Amino acid sequence: MTRPSFLRRFLAHDPARMAIEYGEQSLSFGQLRQLGEGTAGWLRAHGVVAGDRVCIHLDTSVDLLAAHLGCMALGAIRVPLNVHYKAIELAPIVEDAAPTLAISASPACFAGVPTVARPGLDAPVAEWAGLDDVTALLFTSGTTGRPKGAPQTWTMWESNLDALQARWELAGRDVLWLTLPLFHTHGLVVGLHGAWLRGAKVVLRDRFDPIEPPAGVSHFYGVPTYYRRWLPLMQARPELFTGFRLLVSGSDGLPAEVSDAIFAATGHRILERYGMTETVMIASNPGSGERRAGSVGTALPGTRIRTADGEVQVRGPGVFGGYWPRADEGAFTEDGYFRTGDAGELDGDGYLRIVGRKKDLIIVGGVNISPAEVERVLAAVPGVADVGCCGLYDADLNEVVVAAVVSDGSVSEGVLQARLEHAAGQLSGLKRPRRYAFVAELPHNALGKLQRGRIAAEVGFVR
Ligand code: MLC
Ligand code: AMP
């Protein structure tokens, strides 16, 4: 049986080697293996077979690890879901994922799908899966407002993580302090699976707080908001950060002033890298060598980057094969490059700078938000004639969502705002507009398409 090379390498780690520390609990690689085999037996007893999809809707916990490991051992496709999402945000994802089983404490979000609150153990499977195929289905915000499924294969992850880890000069002895959520590429793939590939220990925490790092950790990956929040402690007590060998930022641009302030306080130059759910990691600064603030570095080995009409386009072994279950015809160029929708500039040395977005996307605290999804919820509010959302600079979250609203005049602005806030309560916190502006009209082009890039300036949102 051909087992995915990633899995073979994971299973070959010394069983006695420490893999996970989570609060008082610790698990060696051998214990992870046992947990995977027993959970796979439990999944099998719940009717799951290789190739089925299983929604994992759990907070960071040993249960979440068990659910992933069980799917890995059985060869089921994991569909990790954002625990902050509310029912209307999960509905289209669950519909597309068509899972055999959901592991979630909120069965109401999974109508018609057998749902169990937590995974259990059963007679262990004897063999780990032999599929070298899709191992996870990650949903990412589509610019249309409907999330899109991006199938992830073992080979995509392995080739990409090998290239990334060589660039970062990572080793098995590293200890990663992982506080990112485990349902996005950053925490799940680069963080957790990156460590599982090379046999590194992960000290896991269920959320980031700008606190003193635990003793013995050497690596940390975060979104810019984490570094913004950590900066005051770094400035007050830089000695707490001397144990780190590498601090990485990604998922959104790290402002140069934050990077420079951290460098001045601690001597660490934060390593910036750039990636996407559809591509895993695309470009990175080096572990040693020149890290340029404001740049996301050069293409990873094996990956090709180009810019066309200012858009970053990418080809390489980490790039997925297409969305599922609905292909997006425009996702790739005719010659096979994936269109990222990010605006970038490459300099003569191949260093890439992300200078903006050509796609309608707002990134709040490292979380991608489709303005169209928010607008659809707000447009249904009685009294709204037109509505448009855009991102506005925020000194904590990098960007927040704001909404410009045209009233139909049937109620006062005060009543309309209260209705809008109530409706936005159907969405998870980061999607809810921070401000509303009532305007006479919104910018549309000749074809009637909303010009979101012009909203902030036209409605007088001050950056
Ligand atoms: C928090 N909320 C979220 C959320 N995190 N909503 C959607 N998605 C998330 N990930 C909501 C909560 O439910 C809550 O809503 C409100 O926001 C405030 O919650 P909080 O926990 O108090 O928020 P805060 O501490 O401010 O959290 C913000 C944050 C966190 C930035 C610390 O969002 C975070 O850890 N972000 C990291 C995201 C990430 O991993 N991105 C990687 C994407 S992969 P309510 O209803 O209770 O008010 C990618 C590819 C790549 O981009 O290159 O890496
Ligand atoms: P996601 O779809 O959640 O995987 O997010 C991918 C998007 O995050 C990219 O298309 C970029 O817009 C953004 N992104 C990721 N890393 C960076 C970075 N280092 N700098 C700027 N934007 C980034």
Report the CATH number at residue 283: 3.40.50.12780
Task: Give the residues of the chain that fall short of pLDDT 50.
Answer: none
Q: Would you call 352 helix, strand, or coil by DSSP?
A: strand
Domain boundary residue, one of 358, 375, 398 = 358
Neighbours of 429 (CB within 10 A): 12
pTM of the shown model: 0.97
Q: Looking at the domain assignment, is residue 165 inside a domain?
A: no
Tell me, using a 6 A CB cutoff, whether residue 275 lines ligand 1: yes
Judgement on whether residues 374 and 325 belong to the same structural domain of the protein: no
Query: Are residues 350 and 396 located together in one domain of the fold?
Result: no
- For tokens 């404490």, what's the residue? 105
Q: Please choose, from the candidates 70, 79, 78, the residue with its C-alpha nearest in 3D space to the C-alpha of residue 128.
A: 70
Q: Are residues 198 and 261 in the same domain?
A: yes
The residue nearest atom 8 of ligand 2, judged by CA position, is: 251
Strand order in the sheet with 398-407: 384-394, 398-407, 435-438
Is the CB of residue 250 below 6 angstroms from any atom belonging to ligand 2? yes
> Does residue 159 lie in a domain region?
no
CATH at residue 433: 3.30.300.30
Contact indicator for 299, 350 with CB cutoff of 8 Å: yes
Q: What is the residue-wise DSSP string for 271-338? A: EEEEEETTTEEEEE--SSSPPPTT--BEEPTT-EEEEETTEEEEESTTS-S--BSS--GGGB-TTS-E
Residue 460: what pLDDT? 83
Residue 336 within any structural domain of the chain: yes
- Token pair for residue 244? 């780190």
**Closest residue CA from atom 9 of ligand 2:** 276
Query: Does 366 lie in the same domain as 351?
Result: no
CA gap 132, 129 in Å, rounded: 9
User: Rounded distance, CA 66 to CA 87, Å?
Assistant: 24
Note whether residue 146 is domain-resident: no
Distance between CA atoms of 201 and 208, rounded to whole angstroms? 18
Question: Which CATH number do you get for residue 23?
Answer: 3.40.50.980
Pocket test for ligand 2, best of 84, 252, 272 (most atoms within 8 A of CB): 252
Residues 396, 342 within the same domain: no
Chain centre distance of CA 201: 21
Residue 344 has a CB neighbour count (10 Å cut-off) of 24
Domain ends where: 100, 132, 164?
132
The rounded Å distance from CA 352 to ligand 2 centre is 13
What are the beta bridge partners of residue 219?
176, 246
Ligand nearest to the CA of 370: 2
Q: Are residues 196 and 260 in the same domain?
A: yes
Quick one: tokens of 149? 């499924």
Cα–Cα distance, 330 to 312 (Å, whole number): 14
* Residues 92, 230 within the same domain: no
Q: Is residue 140 part of a domain?
A: no
* Side chain identity, residue 95: E
Q: Give the DSSP letter of residue 325.
A: S
Which of 319, 342, 358 delimits the end of a domain? Answer: 358
Residues 209 and 335 in one domain: yes
Q: Are residues 183 and 245 in the same domain?
A: yes
C-alpha dihedral sign at 312, 314, 318, 321: positive
HSE (CB half, 13 Å, CA atoms) of 302? 17
pLDDT digits (tens, 9 = 90+) for 354-402: 999 999 999 999 999 999 999 999 999 999 999 999 999 999 999 999 9
Asked if residue 181 has its Cβ within 6 Å of ligand 1, the reply is: yes
How high is the pLDDT of residue 463? Answer: 65
Q: At CA 75, angle to CA 67 and CA 35, rounded to 5?
A: 40
Name the residue range of residue 455's domain. 361-459
Contact 198, 226 (CB under 8 A): no
- What residues pair up with 281 in beta bridges, in sequence order? 275
* Nearest CA owner, ligand 1 atom 14: 429
What's the pLDDT score for residue 123? Answer: 97
Per DSSP, what are the bridge partners of residue 160?
none
- When computed from its CA atoms, the radius of gyration of the chain, rounded to whole angstroms, is 22
State residue 199 phi and psi, 5-degree precision.
80, 35
Atom of ligand 2 nearest to the CA of 250: 19
Sign of CA dihedral 350, 151, 140, 103: negative
Six token digits for residue 330: 């425009």
Structure tokens at 427: 């969405």
Q: What are phi and psi of 170, to 5 degrees?
A: -80, 160
For residues 354 and 379, state if they share a domain. no
Residue 145 resides in a domain: no
Answer yes or no: is the C-beta of 21 below 6 A from any ligand 2 atom.
Answer: no
In angstroms, the CA 27 to CA 33 distance is 10
Asked if the structure places residue 141 within a domain, the reply is: no
pLDDT (tens digit per residue) in 52-100: 999 999 999 999 999 999 999 999 999 999 999 999 999 999 999 999 9
**CA distances (Å), origin 81, targets 97, 103, 180, 299, 337:** 11, 10, 14, 29, 28
Percentage helix, strand, coil, to 5, in the chain? 30, 25, 40
Phi, psi of 86 (to 5 degrees): -100, 175
Torsion of CA 183, 188, 50, 338, to 10 degrees: 90
Q: Which helix (H) or strand (E) holds 326?
A: none
Q: What is the pLDDT of residue 37?
A: 98
- Ligand 1 and 428: CB distance under 6 A: yes
User: Are 218 and 301 contained in the same domain?
Assistant: yes
Sorted by sequence, the CB contacts under 8 Å of residue 148 that are 6+ apart come out as: 139, 140, 141, 142, 323, 326, 328
Classified as helix, coil or strand, 5 is helix
The count of domains in the chain is 3
pLDDT given for residue 321 in this prediction: 97
Residues 321 and 219 occupy one common structural domain: yes
Contact (CB, 8 A) for 302 and 175: no
The pLDDT of residue 458: 86
Burial class (CB in 10 A: 0-12, 13-18, 19+), 412: exposed
The Å distance, Cα 254 to ligand 1 centre, comes to: 16
Q: Which residue is associated with the tokens 């570094």?
A: 227
CA of 81 to the centre of ligand 1 (A): 13
How many H helices and E strands in the chain? 12, 24
Instruction: List the residue whose alpha carbon is closest to atom 12 of ligand 2.
Output: 342
In a domain, 42, yes or no: yes
